[in-house]
Amino acid sequence: MCMRVTDHIILGHDDTSKMIEITVDGKKIPAKEGEPILAALLAQDIMVNRYTVKRNEPRGLFCGIGQCTDCAMIVDGRANVRTCITPAVEGMVVETQHGYGIQEV
């Protein structure tokens, strides 16, 4: 189920955004070009972005302004990307982050 607001009493109707696709944990999902990755995830009911280092607890949207790092994910192979302030780009590959987001050797 998509949770996007397309008709807003003050902002009006949003029909100008170009839709793109990003891949999240191997699944393609729609996103508006340039919107925060986190917005595209929430629109698809994806609430967990990472799991904590010590207790492996799920984390997701908290501050929404790039300050807490609870939304950190692996984006195009780069760990600890704050998805609430990173714009979605066509073809982007996003993965749920476990711990530090690096492979243990």
The 66-95 site mask, x for binding ligand FES (CB under 6 A), equals: xxxxxx----------x-x-----------
Q: For residues 40 and 23, what is the distance between their CA atoms, to the nearest angstrom?
A: 11
Interface segment toward ligand FES; rule CB under 6 A; list 3-11, 14-22, 59-67, 92-100: 59-67
Handedness of CA 28, 97, 86, 39 (dihedral sign): positive
The answer to whether residues 25 and 96 touch, using CB atoms and an 8 Å cutoff, is yes
Under the criterion CB under 6 A, does residue 39 sit at the interface with ligand FES? no
Residues that bind ligand FES (CB under 6 A): 61-64, 66-71, 82, 84
